Amino acid sequence: FPGAEQWVPDGGGLRKLQAALKDCRGCDLWEYAEQAVPGEGPARARLMLVGEQPGDVEDKEGHPFVGPAGRLLDKALVEAGIDRGDVYLTNAVKHFRFERRGKRRIHKTPSVGQIVACSPWLAAERAIVKPSLVVILGAVAARALMGPGFKVTERRGQPVELPDGTAAVATVHPSSVVRSEEYRRDFGLFVDDLRVAASLLP
Ligand code: URA
Ligand code: SF4
């Protein structure tokens, strides 16, 4: 894949970035998805949450975390005492990757090539928002932000640093909690990790 670089504007704010995202052809995913889903939230958010990629609902509606994983995230944020309105929410990959099964579109994890191709968008968002803390939601976001070798399962809920020194906390992806067979336990652990993040905010 050529990567998103050539579509990312050199300067400007979130609006300009959002507008440019529509035209991105940095990997193959634009072709199958309905639309690119940009990040959302205040440009001066202290907290940035990074998910994987839009899901089926997000792809149709054009907003991040508005489907089942988003509802769970909303609930967990409330329990952790974090106001969603204060948070900048985005994804490591901006187009939905899926497999067709009859009428259904089944989520497919983006490849490393797609994650790397899309990473200039996330870098640009980070450069504009400059969050004091980043929450890494799951393995794809971890691959995008920490590179290879970082294991969310081993490092979740502890303060870590992104390669550029930005403070971060990793946790699981909310979709994994939605699907969990031990929902109560896993939801509680997810909230615990978000509480750690809240406690690290200046
Ligand atoms: N899962 C994600 O990672 N991001 C979304 O926006 C929705 C579901
Ligand atoms: Fe561009 Fe990312 Fe969409 Fe690929 S997934 S086309 S790199 S915005």
Measured from the CA of 173, which atom of ligand 1 is nearest?
3
pTM exceeds 0.95, yes or no? yes
ipTM value, please give it.
0.96
**Sign of the CA dihedral running 171, 114, 53, 124:** positive
How far, in Å, is the centroid of ligand 2 from the Cα of 189?
32
Which residue minimizes the CA distance to atom 2 of ligand 2? 118
* DSSP 8-class letter at 111: P
pLDDT at 94: 99
pLDDT at 95: 99
Which residue minimizes the CA distance to atom 5 of ligand 2? 95
Q: Give yes or no for a contact between 37 and 121, defined as CB atoms under 8 angstroms apart.
A: no
Q: Which residues surround ligand 2 with Cβ inside 6 Å?
A: 4, 21, 24-27, 29-30, 36, 93-95, 114, 117-118, 121
How many angstroms separate the CA atoms of 52 and 80, rounded? Answer: 21
Of 175, 180, 183, the residue nearest 91 (C-alpha): 175
pLDDT at 202: 85
**Sign of the CA dihedral running 110, 111, 115, 117:** negative
Measured from the CA of 137, which atom of ligand 1 is nearest?
3
Sites in the chain below the pLDDT cut of 70? none
Number of other CB atoms surrounding residue 46 within 10 Å: 15
Kindly state if the Cβ of 39 falls inside 6 Å of ligand 1: no
Distances in Å between the alpha carbon of 83 and those of 20, 28, 51, 75, 88? 28, 35, 17, 11, 11
Can you say how many angstroms the Cα of residue 62 is from the centroid of all Cα atoms in its chain? 14
How far, in Å, is the centroid of ligand 1 from the Cα of 44?
21
pLDDT at 129: 98
Q: Give yes or no for a contact between 109 and 52, defined as CB atoms under 8 angstroms apart.
A: yes
Enumerate domains of the chain plus CATH numbers.
5-200 (3.40.470.10)
Buried b (16+ CB within 10 A) or exposed e, 86-104: ebbbbbbbbbbbbeeeeee
How many angstroms separate the CA atoms of 12 and 68, rounded? Answer: 33
